[in-house]
Amino acid sequence: MSRPGKRVAPRRRRPRTARMVLAGVSVMLGAPVTAPLGAQSGGNGTIYYGNYGGTILVIDERTMRVTDTIPVEIGIPLIQGVSEDRTRFYVTDPGFEHIEIIDIAAKAQVDRFTLSEGNKRVRINGFNVDPQQRFAIMVIRTTTKEKDRFVIGTPALVKFDLAAKAVTDTIPWPGGRERDGARILFSPDGNLMYFFSDEILIFDTATLKQVDSWPYASALDFGMGSFGFGFPRDFYDEPGFYTGSFRFTDPVNRRSMMGVARVNLVERTVDFHTLGPSAPVGFTLSPDRRRAYGLRQEVGNYELWTFDLENRRVLGKLPFNGRPRMRLSVSSNGRLLYISGAGQTIDIYDAATFRPLRTVEVGADVTSMIHIPPAR
């Protein structure tokens, strides 16, 4: 009780909006708030967001606002890849019959092509462009509509001249074994093509003749079993290097294990280390290549992981309320994590603490997303 004659100042209440923000900080990871906590910036990169509206949205990473829209003529866009110099990206339609080439700086189409014509439909099941953007190597399959039936052809491995927009060569299948899809990479100078089979077969891109091979599946130490590795494309890796997770089975104890490998494809060397029992976790590099981050995507068991690459260990992991078909990207400055996929939002987390910062409403359901950081 206050003394007689003494005036007591009324108790000031915290605004309702402030209480909501503070409550958002304390909730469990996975319930991102829409208010920008700290309004951190991820850097000066650009996010390209293909969507079911038939366009590609351009998102400024610094503000996370849509700044432009790139029209697409071939239908719903699926962004398949980016040129080595980051000047163009290649977009296909859901039927994989058409390819559209987009100039990134101009935000406009510069070319498009299809191999389908008349009663023939040609599906492009594999596609990669050489670093000088002179030609593409493609895996194609033709379906011909006859009067009473469809005739499905055999897969073909072809070289496609991008300037002439024509197939110039059909490459014999290595070992005579046809494939509906193929993993194809190029050396940084574009002079060699790597074809992934039971081993990596190396071709001269000028003659299309095999010049060497690398049995990379046996690249691990003796007794560690076969080496399964995806050779991921990552803008934070050096040209010719591929860093990612891999899994193998210990042939002695028959344990499924996982590790991290850094592969120099040109020199054909592998630097690797094991981490422990295998888990279905993705792997995305940070810009300084000292850390990497991963998503564990099992229904009812979603986790964010941090890999300490310098000390060769799992630094931490944290359960969170995820969503189906998630995709993880690391911001250009390495401070933020972006989670997208299966929806029209991008969830932003602090990379150091996994604290949810905010959710960006893009306004369109995503089909594919590519984050391009500034060139080094």
Q: Which tokens is 27 given?
A: 């909730």
Q: What's CA 259's distance to the chain center, in Å?
A: 19
**Residue 17 phi/psi, 5° resolution?**
-65, -40
| CB 374, CB 43: distance < 8 Å | yes
Q: What is the Cα 33 distance to its own chain's centre?
A: 25
Place of tokens 């960006």: 360
pLDDT per residue over 111-138, tens digit each?
999 999 999 999 999 899 999 999 999 9
Lowest mean pLDDT among 127-131, 132-136, 252-256, 287-291: 252-256
> Average pLDDT of 225-231?
73
Conformation bin of residue 132: beta by default, left when phi > 0, alpha when psi is -120 to 50: alpha
Mean pLDDT of the chain: 86
Mean pLDDT of all residues in 273-296: 94
Torsion of CA 312, 315, 319, 325, to 10 degrees: -40
Query: pLDDT class for 243, splitting at 50, 70, 90?
Result: very high
**pLDDT tens track for 301-358:** 999 999 999 999 999 999 998 888 899 999 999 999 999 988 999 999 999 999 999 9
β-sheet bridge partners, residue 284: 293
Q: Could you give the CA distance from residue 331 to residue 311 in angstroms, rounded to a whole number?
A: 22
Give Cα 220 to chain centroid, integer Å: 26
Distance in angstroms (rounded) separating the CA atoms of residues 157 and 194: 13
Token reading at 173: 């299948």
Distance CA 87, CA 89 (A): 7
Which tokens in the block code for residue 368? 């594919």
Nearest to 289 by CA among 273, 304, 308: 308
CA distance 99 to 97: 7
pTM (predicted TM-score): 0.84
Rounded to an integer, the average pLDDT of 171-185 is: 89
Using DSSP's 3-state secondary structure scheme, residue 216 falls into: helix
Q: What is the mean pLDDT of residues 211-233?
A: 76
Write the CB contacts of 254 (distance below 8 Å, at least 6 apart in sequence).
Answer: none
CA 179 – CA 173 distance, rounded (Å): 8
Residue 231 is predicted with a pLDDT of 87
Strand pairing class (166-171; 184-186): unpaired
Find where tokens 């690459």 sit: 309
**Are 256 and 226 spatial neighbours (Cβ–Cβ below 8 Å)?**
no
Q: Is 299 exposed, middle or buried (0-12, 13-18, 19+ CB in 10 A)?
A: exposed
Task: State residue 226's pLDDT score.
Answer: 64
pLDDT in tens, 4-41: 443 334 444 433 333 222 222 222 333 333 434 445 89
Q: Are 49 and 55 in contact (CB under 8 A)?
A: no
Rounded CA separation 364/66 (Å): 11
312: closest CA among 297, 292, 336, 329?
A: 292
d(CA 143, CA 241): 37
Three-state SS at 24: helix
Conformation bin of residue 227: beta by default, left when phi > 0, alpha when psi is -120 to 50: beta
Alpha-carbon distance of 75 to 255, in angstroms, equals 46
